[in-house]
């Protein structure tokens, strides 16, 4: 099998069939589909099972015993099951252009790329089958080349682009060689949000051939029922972002401690940690506006006290407080 398409699934009965149909019409057929169900409570699992015969043995379904609350664990399990030379992580409510897998596979082979990164894509709304697609650039600065470009192997340059958001974070933007992920132990950290930021950073640091592809091949659906848009109390919202901040900083810190470049460049290491913390903080910003400063500080202190005084925890605490004070001064 040349390609394994891995799809984490949770309660997506409305769009799942359209997603699977977009895979059935692929011009490239030497691929398998691995669906990892995270304890769906709707008819999603039944829909997948109804497609088993259509894929002629190329569709595998794995059901988790307990809900994990994010796509991280399902994607990691899918990677363990996968047998393809390449893997591709797709979302269950999105679609692929009919020649997407063929195009990605051919470019990966031609450039011997560990990572093929799609710079462009299409967006669609809530309509079941999109009629009018809007081609977009996912990330600034805009990619102007009409030809594939291999990213510089200079790690300093790659980190700079990462910090400037010139590299996108979503998993479905990357087509990856499976042995590269396994050999470098690159998995999604088991956190409920922002796990793709950490995962993408590891790809940038470890891949020798990181290919930027200008061709739009994927259709991403704007899903307004996502986890980040659920209704929560002010305290719940604050804690929702604080937990991945703590665990994310820990994960990034451990990863960079193993790389000589970051040992020799402490300011760059701190910039990466602060970048990650600021993203979480920006999501919390509206909540902070609705709380008294003392109230916000007490919630954060209470959460940080649970993890003790490890170096990553202290770093995360300092980063949050740094952004908090900046926010207060900017008022």
At residue 231, the pLDDT reads 64
Residue 328, Cβ density class (10 Å: 0-12 exposed, 13-18 middle, ≥19 buried): exposed
Judged against a pLDDT cut of 70, whether residue 223 lies above it is answered with: no
Q: Model's pTM, two decimal places?
A: 0.89
Which run of H or of E encompasses 137?
Answer: strand 134-137
pLDDT band at 289 (very low <50, low <70, confident <90, very high): low
Q: Residue holding tokens 């398998």?
A: 32
Q: Which of 133-137, 140-144, 269-273 has the highest mean pLDDT?
A: 269-273
Residue 325 pLDDT: 47
Separation between Cα atoms, residue 41 and residue 224, nearest integer Å: 19
Whether residue 55 has pLDDT greater than 80: yes
What tens digit of pLDDT does each residue of 237-258 get?
Answer: 777 777 788 888 889 999 999 9
More reliable by pLDDT, 190 or 292 = 190
Whether 250 is a known active-site residue: answer: no
Look at residue 191 and give its three-state secondary structure.
Answer: coil
Strand-by-strand arrangement of the 120-124 sheet? 95-96, 218-221, 120-124, 134-137
CA atoms within 13 A of residue 104's CA, in its CB half-sphere: 36
- Long-range contacts for 15-19 (Cβ within 8 Å, ≥24 apart)? 15/92, 15/93, 15/94, 15/128, 15/221, 16/44, 16/47, 16/48, 16/92, 16/93, 17/47, 17/51, 18/95, 18/128, 18/129, 19/90, 19/91, 19/92, 19/93, 19/94, 19/95
CA distance 51 to 17: 8
- Given this model, what pLDDT does residue 328 score? 45
Confidence of residue 305 (pLDDT cuts 50, 70, 90): low
How confident is the model over 262-281, as pLDDT tens digits?
999 999 998 999 899 888 87
Q: CA-to-CA distance for 175 and 196, rounded, in angstroms? A: 14
201 neighbors 272 (Cβ within 8 angstroms): yes
Q: Cβ neighbours of residue 233 under 8 Å, at least 6 residues apart?
A: none
The CA radius of gyration of the chain, in Å to the nearest whole number, is 20
- Interval 195-209: pLDDT, tens: 999 999 999 999 999
Q: Is the pLDDT of residue 329 over 90?
A: no
Catalytic residue among 37, 93, 196, 250: 196
């Amino acid at each position: 099998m040349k390609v394994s398409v891995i799809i984490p699934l949770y309660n997506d009965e409305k769009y799942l069939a359209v997603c699977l149909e977009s895979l059935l019409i692929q011009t490239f057929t030497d691929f398998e589909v691995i669906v990892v169900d995270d304890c769906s409570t709707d008819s999603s699992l039944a829909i997948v099972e109804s497609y088993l015969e259509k894929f002629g043995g190329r569709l595998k379904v794995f059901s988790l015993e307990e809900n994990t609350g994010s796509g991280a664990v399902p994607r990691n399990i899918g990677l363990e099951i996968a047998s393809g030379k390449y893997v591709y992580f797709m979302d269950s409510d999105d679609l692929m252009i009919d020649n997407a897998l063929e195009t990605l596979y051919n470019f990966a082979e031609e450039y011997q790329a560990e990572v093929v990164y799609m710079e462009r894509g299409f967006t669609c709304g809530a309509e079941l089958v999109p009629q009018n697609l809007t081609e977009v650039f996912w990330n600034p600065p805009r990619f102007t080349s009409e030809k594939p470009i291999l990213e510089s192997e200079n790690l300093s340059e790659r980190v700079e682009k990462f910090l400037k958001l010139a590299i996108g974070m979503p998993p479905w933007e990357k087509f990856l060689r499976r042995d590269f992920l396994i050999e470098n132990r690159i998995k999604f950290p088991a956190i409920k949000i922002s796990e793709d930021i950490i995962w993408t950073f590891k790809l940038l640091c470890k891949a020798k051939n990181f290919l930027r592809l200008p061709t739009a091949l994927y259709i991403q659906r704007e899903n307004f029922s996502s986890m980040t848009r659920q209704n929560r109390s002010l305290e719940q919202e604050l804690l929702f972002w604080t937990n991945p901040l703590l665990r994310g900083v820990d994960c990034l810190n451990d990863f960079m401690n193993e790389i000589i470049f970051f040992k020799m460049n402490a300011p760059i290491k701190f910039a990466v940690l602060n970048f990650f913390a600021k993203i979480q903080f920006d999501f919390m910003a509206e909540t902070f506006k609705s709380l008294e400063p003392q109230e916000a500080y007490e919630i954060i202190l209470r959460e940080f006290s649970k993890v003790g005084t490890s170096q990553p925890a202290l770093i995360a605490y300092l980063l949050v407080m740094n952004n908090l004070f900046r926010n207060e001064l900017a008022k």
